[in-house]
A and B are shown apart, each in its own frame.
Chain A
């Protein structure tokens, strides 16, 4: 199949793209989306490294070993946390929009001295 390092490189590039988008945009919802992209990039790298671990520890492809899927389980936990983070973040943004009428983070500056 494919070389696993390709997937790792894809994860790095996707994380960098998401990081650029998150740093560049001023729309709070867009920043949340870019954070989701970054979490997805981390998931890709977890699954790729899980593939390496499974080959390393089992040797025989297809054999089932608890270690073999641990990277994928980490990806599942990241998905759960990402879903929770998106829900709470969107609720906070919704409330800010409702109270102040802005979604641009430059204009959310109540704590500015």
Chain B
């Protein structure tokens, strides 16, 4: 019976570990898969897993926001950008370092069509990331954090305190964030709506639908 109790008490940690593995693998695959569309969907998987971590940490409002903003808006924006601009074809160009040269050569000899020019840079990137992780993990290990066991999440909704704090203590940052979002909205429309001077009839025909509104605005 005590074994069962220990197992039940261990269950949240087990769930968190599985979630963490899913998140880390998905985040790893974002940088490694060959097709940019697949990378976008792995990004969606990582975002969803992070929302699950937020739930386990007792941040329910933030989990909902994560799903709405990242999965619902940012990922869809990425997919739209990929769809609109033929980035898919460009990303499948095997001459770049974007094809999975790293793990292919590590696992099964030389990669099929990967250029070897990027190998030192890949190794350097791995070294930088590993050094960063080791440094921060060592700092965490030296701190008082590992002995810190937090009590159970209460399940009380955090929406009301977040809203209250957002409109009292953090009112000015909130307004600044809204201005930042407005400027980003206008700037993104202006930048993306400008007509390119590349003589590509098919692309112009594809983009005509999105650009007609902005061109009218520019002419006026």
* Chain A interfacial positions (CB closer than 8 Å to B): 1-10, 12-27, 29-30, 32-34, 36-37, 40, 43-44, 47-48, 50-52, 55, 61-62, 64-66, 68-70, 72-73, 75-77, 79-88, 90-95, 97-104, 106
Contacts and interface: CB of A to CB of B under 8 A. Distances in A.
Given A23-B128, A37-B27, A29 B152 contact: no
Contacts of B164: 66
Contacts of B27: 14, 17-18, 21, 37
B145 interface: yes
A20 to B, nearest CB: 4
B7 interface: no
B58 A64 contact: no
Contacts of A91: 187-189, 191-192
A60 to B, nearest CB: 10
A28 to B, nearest CB: 9
Contacts of B137: 9, 12
Main secondary structure of the interface of B (DSSP, over half): helix
A106 B24 contact: no
A88 B13 CA distance: 38
Q: Which of A15, A23, A64, A72 lies at the interface centre, i.e. has the most chain B CB atoms within 10 A of its CB?
A: A72
Interface residues of B, number: 101
Contacts of B112: none
Contacts of A75: 59, 62
Contacts, number: 283
Interface in B130-174: 130, 132-133, 136-137, 140, 145-146, 148-154, 156, 158, 160-162, 164-166, 168-170, 173
A103 B39 CA distance: 15
Given A6-B13, A37-B46, A77-B177, A83 B129 contact: no
Given A25-B97, A98-B85, A101-B90, 5 more contacts: A6-B16, A79-B65, A90-B81, A97-B86, A104-B98
Contacts of A62: 154, 156
A50 B54 CA distance: 11
B128 to A, nearest CB: 6
Contact of A99 (B32, B183, B197): B197
Given A94-B81, A97-B90, A5 B192 contact: no
A4 B219 CA distance: 56
Interface of B: 12-13, 16-17, 20, 23-24, 27-28, 30-32, 36, 39-40, 43, 46-47, 50, 53-54, 56-59, 61-62, 65-66, 69-70, 73-74, 77-78, 81-82, 84-87, 90-91, 93, 96-98, 102, 118, 121-122, 124-126, 128-130, 132-133, 136-137, 140, 145-146, 148-154, 156, 158, 160-162, 164-166, 168-170, 173, 177, 180-181, 183-185, 187-189, 191-192, 194, 196-198, 200, 203, 207
A40 B160 contact: no
Contact of B57 (A7, A34, A73, A86): A7
Contacts of A25: 31, 97-98
